[in-house]
Amino acid sequence: FILKGTIESFGNYLVALPELALWNDTFANTGWQNTWTVFYWAWTITWSPFVGIFIARISKGRTIRQFVAGVLAVPSAFSVIWFGVFGYASFDIELNGEGGLVERVVEDGDIPGALFAFLDHYPGAFVISVIAIILVIIFFVTSVDSAALVTDSMANGHEDFNPLGQRIFWGVAIALVTAALLVFSGSDGLEALQSTIILVGLPFFIMGWFQMYALLRALREDAGELPPIRTREWAQVLPPEEYERREEDEEYDTDDYVVEPTFTSEVPVMSDIYEESAEDGADPSAVGTGTLPSRTGSARAELPEQGRDESR
């Protein structure tokens, strides 16, 4: 029942997705979309900068394809399985079992308690309930830890080294704000927070388009054509007979030709453009600034030999 229902629901979701994406409750105007769809849309938008920075920090060395698969494909597939298993298991309890889950949620309003009422219908309910509590604690702890990491990174100017005490401060600060909101405000505070999230979501949504444009521009620059690699230059070689013939002919100038392979320049010294030597008198503040063409000098077609050696 669970397996068949999960597959069928996934198919129904794919079919209904275009309609749901454009549906806005025009005629019925039940208000359901305002309190559910819009809120979770704004919730996702406001979380996107925070989650994006965190995942980017822990994904160093991954390709873009791996990043997209890890952020979109894997969580989406897990969500399909998660909702399918728990959703249709709940349907099975209501349709073929003792029921009681709907009353627990709708009449009693005990949404967290519905999880434990659900587990009571299966063997080992106490052990599984303890495991569920531990998982919830781990989820909140890791969420606060990642929030402290991102907040500390932004407050520290996105530097690689962040003092441990500074990160602990942000973790404690987030925990205190959350505790104060839950203890002193109760449900009213959470409702006010939800309204604030909806208001803040729109500016973040507009900002996201600028971020996508900046990312696309950076990727194009990163994948752009590199300037030609400098190699040792060689004089043009001619066979001895041809060299002698041109030497005797006044129409030809043999100064640029040789009989044996002869190089006309030394081997270029290849160095990292981001590691300018302080001995050259380069300004340290100018290293690694600007766009890639300005840093590498690739925007200029030709450079003097001295300037070219310094730029490489």
Distance CA 34, CA 24 (A): 9
Domain positions in the chain are: 2-23+31-222, 236-311
The string of pLDDT tens digits covering residues 192-238 is: 777 777 777 788 888 888 988 988 888 887 777 665 666 778 888 88
Backbone angles phi, psi at 263, to 5 degrees: -85, 150
pLDDT at 81: 94
What's the confidence (pLDDT) of residue 4?
95
* Percent residues over pLDDT 70 in the chain: 82
What are the phi and psi torsion angles at 258 (to 5°)?
A: -135, 165
| Percent with pLDDT over 90 in the chain | 15
The pLDDT mean for the chain works out to 79
Which pLDDT value is given to residue 160?
Answer: 67
Cβ 119 vs Cβ 129: under 8 Å: yes
Q: Given this model, what pLDDT does residue 1 score?
A: 93
Q: How far is Cα 171 from Cα 141, in angstroms, rounded to an integer?
A: 10
| Selected residue with higher pLDDT from 310 and 211 | 211
Who wins on pLDDT, 130 or 250? 130
> Residue 201 has what pLDDT?
78
Give dist(CA 166, CA 172) in Å, integer. 10
| Res 311: pLDDT | 44
Evaluate if residue 85 carries a pLDDT over 90: yes
pLDDT at 256 over 50: yes
Q: Which residues pair with 234 in a beta bridge?
A: 263
What's the predicted TM-score (pTM) here? 0.58
Question: Please, what is the Cα angle at 223 between 219 and 229, to 5 degrees?
Answer: 150
Res 152: pLDDT: 85
Residue 291 pLDDT greater than 60, yes or no = no
pLDDT in tens, 130-169: 999 999 899 888 888 888 888 888 887 766 677 788 888 9
Quick: pLDDT tens for 25-56.
888 888 888 777 777 888 888 888 778 888 88
Residue 226 has a pLDDT of 60
pLDDT of residue 158: 64
pLDDT at 229 (0 to 100): 67
| Mean per-residue pLDDT, 115-126 | 89
* Cα 159 to Cα 171: distance, rounded to the nearest angstrom: 18
Taking residues 178-182, what's their average pLDDT?
80
pLDDT at 306 over 80: no
Amino acid occupying residue 93: I
Question: What's the pLDDT at 107?
Answer: 80
> For residue range 66-84, what is the model confidence (pLDDT) as tens digits?
988 888 888 899 999 999 9
